[in-house]
Structure 1
């Protein structure tokens, strides 16, 4: 395979003397490097190399201007914007959200040499007719809106003049200036001394410059395109070259140089569908492993093109060890490095500061960063203490002083990281530099060169921000500081070092211009990625762009089409990967490029389609089971001595594994900060509040008047309960405020129901929160079982004793009704029935009672009344007979089931097993 650059070099050498007077202009730095290599390979003696420029460098040379950075431009534009709009101007943070779009539009206007006055007049008129009003009088908002659009032309002219006075420019301004200077530039150069190599989509400025030199015979141009795409009148790959053939006067007498018929030659094309993005890079890794094992395969003639450049990191982690060398053209975005993420967290921490302090999750997020852990002398001790304090003291919001006292050894670092003083961008910037210096010292002591590289680039960005802070006075809040930091880190990259002419080439689509490879792997061939689809990012409407012949998404699609097919022109082995599972984040359906390839009249069998997916095997789920050894039985016996609660035994019925973890091993779920009240805390507060409200009535008959007097105490009682069980949290906002009022409403509703009940019935309150325990001898066990628990309320209603249990969760009648006694210890949703009978058994052991009832008070649906335990006939459906009375016979039946349950729990042959789903 003879590459395009080899053909060009061969042609130039046959016509010209190669020295530094020969000027070659190419689309990219990568192309210039490979072009220079081809010249070196074409000669056997020493000599001067030609002068090679990228198109941007060449145009900068012709214009006499220096390119300003994007960051500098946005600051300069804001200065101009403020001088025009004065007090009405947006602050810098708000401006930065739309200023880049305006800058891009200015760029396009100049690159395409659009008559500015005419375009801005049209744009202003369009906005006036498009928006919101038909009446002659305008609202202040509409007046401000129209004023903004009318100000774009003055902003443009003043901004251009402002930059030219400094001899700098944005790309479009440099291009416009170069197109004005090209005739003067051409006077001083020799005939045929310039060559433009491998261009396709030229803007108007580039086209004007190149045509001017061609018409004066000062230059020649080579096109990297196959005749197939030029001859096809509708193929987008030849869209631009066909328009140049038609519109350039140069081609009335001259033919195209460069096109060579390679595209229709035999190729091995593989179209591979892979599920999800990470699977694509894994598949690329497997392909590279195959190529390395094949001695006929040349790594130098292999390229991996990332359609989505965000796949760089996962791809680097998927390259097999057998690949000896790889050259990466793309840089790693600084924003993806740990150093940048640390400062993003640090700045966000101070942006989110309020008078209550820092939200605890923001603190945890920062101190959990691996670089922050490097700063501490005793990271484990300091962080463990912090997490413990947050959990145990329920710190939802944290003040700096609470953090400073966590560790004497790490106090200085804690004071550096957490301070009240970083209230301005300048102070926060100084702190950021101090943190960077501390990190630098730590990384050097650890010999961590990669982290030092990340940090060095980040410090460069921080120092650049310091320059802007000193130069401009409008970065006066932390939000603007954050916006500037984010913008700079998104644009900065960490470049990889290597041997650019050796090994497998890994690059993005634009870096592949002018380069040819025998083997090409292209990833992410999905709509909205390749091609990128319709994106606006402009204040100029589509129809106005068409009128002034500015590029739209149609031209953008043609650019992508050219680059895609250009890669395929000379390649022999082609692997095209796409995501078979399209979604919003990872691209749309299979790319139209693939459909277009499949519709071509190619040699049968030259295109192979496969769907690749990782091998999968279904594993038979293993039932989770824990055997009871001697140590487990010993722990169970100790638990039996201390006492089982009804809720712990109902936990065994529901899930023996959960019972084993909680009540045998004593493993509890880790405590979390309750920023929003948890279900168990909700219930605890209701229990505590009712105890306080009803304690004065114990031993007496409830009266409507006495209960009504207690209603006024509800807010204070609930507030005190919160203070006892849920401290350090404000009840003035958010979900906690809602919970506070919901609990009050539950209690008020309950007391109102009690008023009605006490008016119609005689209710004698015997006890609240009564603690009971009893010892039960189980046949077959050598030791007794202690059963203990707290009964929420015991009373008599019209002489009938009631054992009552409060529930704040969802409770149904079916949970307190049984038809067969064995269900109470074997069916998981009968846990509440089991608990009520266990309480009844304990009460009866201490206070023998002939007949009584047990019921649940369901706070979530009080209107349905108390849910009474009952034994229900198995037949009869909803009309089945129900027995609500607990008698000695009832307790005897339950005692038998309780003994069966205990023997099962202590049976060494019966393992703890997870319930069937």
Structure 2
């Protein structure tokens, strides 16, 4: 296969003794390197390289202007907007959200040499018609709206004038000026011949420039297209060149040059559907590996074309290690780089900062970013882990910079740089960001991390430009405006990768492939909405007006994609088209129409193989977790038994032995987290503590109505005091915490009122509150005594009957404290509350032997039902219950308790998981 650029170089060398007087103009920069390489191979001797330009650099040279950056353009446009018309002006923050669209429209209008007076007149009339109504007077809002459209021509003129005064221009303005200066340039270069190579979709300015050169007879143009696309009158790949062939007078006397007939040669075409983005990247990596194994030399003429450029990172991570040369020549979206996320979060952090500080979740989300961790790491100490631990331990819901600094007595440059108490306006923030970049630069240089340094440099130039422009223009008054412009610029900027384009595997975007030919082509994301891009109309100019003035619309944009796609296929021998099988509105829809067109092309049908590729998934059989008890575990169990088992730990074992293993043997604790709202366990702890404090004056005495009424007045103060040990006053004065605060008070208030009613008919004497018990029992088969321990919420006497009462803030059913079959109590977790009551009674009976007692649960959710007392029944259907806990009752319980403890200690019984 002879590449297009080789073909052109050979043809020109045959007709010219030298390339000295030739100037080549190509669609992009990259093709220039390949053209030089082709010339060097054909000439075979040392010569002066010809002058080679991309069309953009060529037009820039003719115009005498420099391209203004996107940031400069936006600031200049807003400056012109403020000085145009008398309507009410929007803030820079609001303007930046639609200013980019206006820039694109101005750029397109000038590139297509549209007479602005006519176009803007059309626009203002259309908008006035849209706002027409029967009322005689327009509102001020509509007046301002129409004023904006009426002043668009003046805005465009002022914007262009300001740029020209500074020797700058947006792309359209540069093209327009080049057209104005073209005759002078042609006169100055009469001894030179201009060769236009590989163009397709030309804007009107480019068309005018090329036609003027051709008219002078000192130029030539070579098209890069297969003749079959020209002959097919409806194929979009030849849409533009057929138009030029028909409309340009030059082609009445001159044939089209550069045509080829390779498209219908025999090709190997594979169309593969792969689910999602990452799977596409993995598939490409596997494909390249197979190609390399088959023929390593083939990789030199292989290109991976990314329909979706965000696939670059996954693709790079999927390339096999044996491919040691990879060249990336494409722009990677700046907003997809890892460091973009850090700056985005930093903006959010300072915008969300209020008088209380930063909400802990927002701060932690920022801290866990990998680059933030690099900034804060000092002397290999994980500063972020320390901060997170302290936030959780101290239950900081809101964190101020001073709180963070208090954690580190020694200065930490990164901490000081990231977090400060000063008033952070745009100027201060930009200085802060530049300082962060300089700190990261040092760290990346030490790690020799060149890719991150490249990203960092791009952000450095972006923020420095913002700093200079914000000093020049007083638009950026707050961080929101700065963030808005940052996001707009981030979405349009790219990091340009450059490498050795003549070596190794080539990775590029669709536009970078112009004029280049490869034997093996792998194209990813061949989906509707990506290839072609779809019918997006990000413009203020309506479709009909665009049509009227010759501006490109959907048809032209689709034809551009079609040309690039089929041009890649022209000379390729091996073609791999990969599409995402999972249609997604954001990432692209169903497979592209290009694939459907190929599948209906009879000339290629026998060359095409279609398939669906899915990742290999190994099925995993879930089997219950089982932990065998080795000597180490057995020793730890002995230690636990000696130290003490509580009723809750035993019921934890009944619920799931694995939970007991994690908690008691492995000593795994639940992750400490910030309680921004009162958790259920904290709710219960506060209620228990408040009840203890309020009932403490009655310890050893009978309850009285006067005494309870007196304690009732203290409820708010006691509960508030307990809450303030965990939260700030501000934290409990709003939202869910305020609700929980009032619920706790309501629970206690209702309970005391119920007790007041109760003591009118009964005598209640408080014997103990939060009584800690610890007893030792002998268990057959276990050498050392086993300790049982627990805390009784309340022990009292009601009309002479001893009661053990347990407070619960959750729901309780009567069936939870009833026992029919004693085996159930250690086998069924639903009887866990009955187990706990009996365990407390068993321990109390050992220390204070008593003939009989009652044990019950006070459910604060069901106070009206009174205590739920433990009871035994002969059958489930009977209503006859025995509420008395006697020695016989506790002996029956003891049998089950010993059986349970023996199971825990038995080395032959593994810890076996139960399904929840």
Per the normalisation by structure 2, the TM-score is: 0.91
- Maintained 8 Å contact 1:792/1:804: yes
Larger displacement relative to structure 2 (190-199 or 112-121)? 190-199
Contact 2:330 2:498 in 1 (8 A): no
Following superposition, the deviation at residue 907 of structure 1 comes to 0.8
Question: Quick one: structure 1 residues 863 and 505, their matched pair in 2 at CA, closer, same or farther if it must change by over 3 Å?
Answer: farther
CA offsets 1:634-692 (integer angstroms, 9 cap, x no match): 33333333321111111111121221221233321232222233221122122223333
Distance in 2 separating the partners of 1:457 and 1:592: 37
1:809 and 1:869 map into 2 onto residues whose CA distance is 17
- Structure 2 gap ranges (5+): none
Name the count of aligned residue pairs: 914
Alignment partners' CA distance in 1, 2:720 and 2:349 = 31
Shift of 1:339: 5.3
Pair 1:515-2:516 in alignment: yes
Aligned position for 1:885: 883
- Larger deviation: 552-561 or 71-80? 552-561
Structure 2 CA distance for partners of 1:621 and 1:189, relative to 1, 3 Å: same
- Relative to structure 1, the CA distance from residue 192 to residue 607 in structure 2 (aligned partners, 3 Å threshold; closer, same or farther) is farther
Say yes or no: does 1:418 pair with 2:407. Answer: no
Which position in structure 2 is the counterpart of 1:112?
Answer: 112
Counterpart position of 1:529 = 530
C-alpha contact 1:681 1:725 (8 A) present in aligned 2: no
Call closer, same or farther: CA 1:296–1:503 in 2, change over 3 Å. Answer: closer
Question: In structure 2, what is the equivalent of residue 41 of structure 1?
Answer: 41
**Cα distance between partner residues in 2 of 1:129 and 1:845:** 94
Q: Deviations over 1:187-214 (max 9, x none)?
A: 5554993332222222222223333433
Q: What displacement does 1:281 show?
A: 1.4
Match of 2:681 in 1: 680
Q: In the TM superposition, what whole-angstrom CA distance separates every residue of 1:867-890 from its partner, at most 9, and x where no partner exists?
A: 5545567665xxx64636244344
Partner residue in 2 for 1:599: 600
- Are the structure 2 counterparts of residues 820 and 201 from structure 1 closer, same or farther at C-alpha, using a change threshold of 3 Å? farther
Residues 195 and 812 (structure 1 numbering): CA distance in 2 closer, same or farther, change over 3 Å?
A: farther
Aligned to 1:900: 899
**Mean CA deviation greater in 300-309 or 816-825:** 816-825
Residue range with higher mean Cα deviation, 566-575 or 797-806: 797-806
Please tell me whether the aligned partners of residues 273 and 612 of structure 2 are also in contact (alpha carbons under 8 angstroms).
Answer: yes
- Please show how residues 339-358 of structure 1 align to structure 2 within 5 Å: 341-358=341-358
Report how far residue 495 of structure 1 moved: 4.2
Contact 2:21 2:191 in 1 (8 A): no
The CA RMSD over aligned residues, in Å, is 3.4
Distance (whole Å) between structure 1 residues aligned to residue 795 and residue 134 of structure 2: 75
Instruction: Tell me, in whole angstroms, the C-alpha distance in 2 between the residues paired with 1:556 and 1:712.
Output: 77
Deviation at 1:439, TM superposition (A): 4.3
Which residue pairs with 1:280 in the alignment? 280
Larger CA deviation: 862-871 vs 467-476 = 862-871
Q: Is the contact made by 2:583 and 2:589 (CA closer than 8 Å) also made in structure 1? A: yes
Shift of 1:84: 2.8
Distance 1:529 1:753, change over 3 A: farther
- Does structure 1 conserve the Cα–Cα contact (< 8 Å) formed by 2:627 and 2:910? yes
Equivalent residue of 1:259, what SS? strand
List aligned pairs for 1:644-663, cutoff 5 A: 644-663=645-664
1:741–1:154 Cα change, 3 Å: farther
1:650/1:146 CA distance change after superposition, 3 Å: farther
Give 1:696 deviation, angstroms.
Answer: 4.2
Match of 2:214 in 1: 214
Question: Aligned pair in 2 of structure 1 residues 295, 416: CA closer, same or farther (>3 Å)?
Answer: closer
1:377/1:409 contact within 8 Å kept: no
- 1:331 deviation in Å? 4.1
Contact 1:291–1:297, Cα closer than 8 Å, also in 2: no
SS at match of 2:199: coil
Residue 7 of structure 2 is matched in structure 1 by: 7
Measure the CA separation in 2 of the matches of 1:442 and 1:544. 54
Q: Distance in 2 between matches of 1:263 and 1:412?
A: 62
Q: Is contact 1:393-1:728 (8 Å) kept?
A: no
Secondary structure of the residue that 2:260 maps to in structure 1?
coil
Bigger shift: residues 66-75 or 542-551: 542-551
Q: Which residue of 2 aligns with 1:780?
A: 781
| Secondary structure at the counterpart of residue 789 of structure 1 | strand
Distance 2:151 2:196 in 1: 39
Gaps of at least 5 residues in structure 1 are: none
Alpha carbons of 1:886 and 1:154: their partners in 2 closer, same or farther (altered >3 Å)?
farther
In structure 2, the residue matched to 1:94 is 94
Structure 1 residue aligned with 2:392: 391
Kept in 1: contact 2:628–2:909 (CA 8 A)? yes
Cα distance in 1, alignment partners of residues 714 and 103 from structure 2: 64
Would the alpha carbon gap of residues 413 and 510 (structure 1) be closer, same or farther in structure 2, given more than 3 Å must change? closer
| 1:177 equivalent in structure 2 | 177
Deviation string, structure 1 residues 743-788 (Cα, Å, up to 9, x no partner) = 3444455556656666787766554433334333323333333222
Q: Distance in 1 between matches of 2:20 and 2:690?
A: 92
Q: Contact 1:675–1:729 at 8 Å: present in 2 too?
A: no
**In structure 2, what is the equivalent of residue 165 of structure 1?**
165
CA distance, structure 1, for counterparts of residue 862 and residue 417 of structure 2: 53
Q: Is the 8 A contact 1:817 1:870 kept in 2?
A: yes
Alpha-carbon displacement from aligned partner over 1:145-164 (angstroms, at most 9, x marks no partner): 44433333322222122222
Matched, 1:836 2:834: no
Task: After superposition, give the CA deviation of every residue in 1:362-421 in whole Å (9 maximum; x if it has no partner).
Answer: 554555545654665434275554344323222222233333343344345543443223
- In structure 2, C-alpha distance between the alignment counterparts of 1:903 and 1:407, rounded to whole Å: 50
Compared with structure 1, are the counterparts of its residues 627 and 300 closer, same or farther at alpha carbon in structure 2 (3 Å cutoff)?
closer
**Could you tell me how far 1:124 is from its partner in structure 2?**
3.3
**Is 1:541 aligned to 2:539, yes or no?**
no
The equivalent residue for 2:670 is 669
Q: Distance in 1 between matches of 2:758 and 2:256?
A: 101
- Residue of structure 2 equivalent to 1:404: 405
Distance 1:813 1:276, change over 3 A: farther
- Alpha-carbon deviation of 1:577? 1.0
CA 1:450–1:120 in 2, change beyond 3 Å: closer, same or farther? closer
Change beyond 3 A, Cα 1:3–1:451 = closer
Instruction: Indicate if the aligned counterparts of 1:382 and 1:407 stay in contact, CA closer than 8 A.
Output: no
**Contact 1:766–1:794 (8 Å) recurs in 2:** yes
Determine the structure 2 residue equivalent to 1:82: 82
Partner Cα separation in structure 2 for residue 524 and residue 327 of structure 1? 20
Contact 1:65/1:169, CA 8 A, preserved across alignment: yes
Q: In the alignment, what sits opposite 1:480? A: 481
| CA gap 1:416/1:875 in 2 versus in 1, 3 angstroms | closer
2:461 paired with 1:471: no
Q: Is the 8 A contact 2:71 2:466 kept in 1?
A: no
Cα pair 1:189 1:218 within 8 Å, conserved: no
Give yes or no for contact 1:868–1:884 (8 Å, CA) kept in 2. Answer: no
Q: Contact between 1:375 and 1:438, CA under 8 Å: does it hold in 2?
A: no
**Cα 1:796/1:199, change in 2 over 3 Å:** farther
1:64 aligns with 2:64: yes
Aligned counterparts of 1:36 and 1:635: Cα–Cα separation in 2: 76
CA separation in 2, counterparts of 1:781 and 1:845?
20
After superposing the two structures, state which structure 1 stretch, 31-40 or 634-643, moved more: 634-643
Match of 1:204 in 2: 204
Inter-partner Cα distance in structure 1 for 2:727 and 2:456? 42
Alignment of 1:592-741 (within 5 A): 592-696=593-697, 712-726=713-727, 730-741=731-742
Deviation at 1:505, TM superposition (A): 1.1
Shift of 1:352: 3.3
How far apart are the structure 2 equivalents of 1:746 and 1:778? 41
CA distance in 1, matches of 2:758, 2:20: 106
CA shift in 2, pair 1:83/1:582, >3 Å? same
Q: Report deviation, 1:268.
A: 0.6
Do the aligned partners of residues 433 and 869 (structure 1) sit closer, same or farther apart at CA in structure 2, a change above 3 Å counting?
Answer: same
SS at 2:602 equivalent = coil
Structure 2 match to 1:151:
151
Give distance in 2, aligned partners of 1:633 and 1:720.
Answer: 44
- Distance in 2 (CA, whole Å) between partners of 1:864 and 1:238 is 85
2:241 aligned partner: 241
CA distance in 2, matches of 1:801, 1:132: 87
Distance 2:450 2:562 in 1: 41
Q: Partners in 1 of 2:259 and 2:599 — Cα distance?
A: 24
Q: Is the Cα–Cα contact under 8 Å of residues 873 and 881 in structure 1 kept in the other structure?
A: no
CA drift at 1:467: 2.2
